[in-house]
Structure 1
Amino acid sequence: MDTNRDCLLKEIMSVDFTSIELGLYLNTHPWDQRAIMLFNSSVLKSRMLRDKYEKMYGPLTQQSPNYGNTWKWIDSPWPWEK
């Protein structure tokens, strides 16, 4: 078990949860500048963390960039496999 991998994946899930919740909030409060700033920040952080994860461990989704010379989407374990 790779604890660094698990920690990074949990951080991605946490940041993505924040983005989703802020997006829902902004649907009813579209002029909240602080929420917009936090939303943008969490989206950028998610992209950065996903890029880091995928370069180290492989793609999170089939639409992720493929780093290297082989199609890594089919490699195990997949993020949801434990």
Structure 2
Amino acid sequence: MNKDRLNMLRKIMELECSCIDLNLYLDMYPTDQNALMQYNTQAFQLMELKKQYGCMYGPLSNFGDAQSQYPFRWIEDPWPWEIEY
């Protein structure tokens, strides 16, 4: 697997983790405007990066994240969870 693809996957995982953390924080402090702004910024970055990844390497999940090119790329190896870092 090429280095650019691995770096993109790592960034996706970092953003997902950060969004989860901010979501949990906002569950407790829903009026924290700074945290909400951070969450929205990172959620947008995550959506864009997943879209970019899907266009370049195929979808990360089998539904809804990205359209697939012909031939259907979801079945290509390695599956996202099979990648060794």
Q: Which has the higher contact order (CA 8 A, sep 6+)?
A: 1
Alignment RMSD (CA, Å)? 1.0
Unaligned 5+ runs, structure 1 = none
- Where 1:76 maps in the other structure, the secondary structure is coil
| 1:51 matched to 2:12 | no
Partner residue of 2:20?
A: 20
Partner residue of 2:40?
A: 40
Unaligned 5+ runs, structure 2 = none
| Residue type of the alignment partner of 2:75 | I
Give the number of equivalent residue pairs. Answer: 82
| 1:79 matched to 2:47 | no
Post-superposition, which runs of at least 4 consecutive aligned residues in structure 1 deviate over 6 A?
none
Q: Distance in 1 between matches of 2:21 and 2:36?
A: 12
Partner residue of 1:2?
A: 2
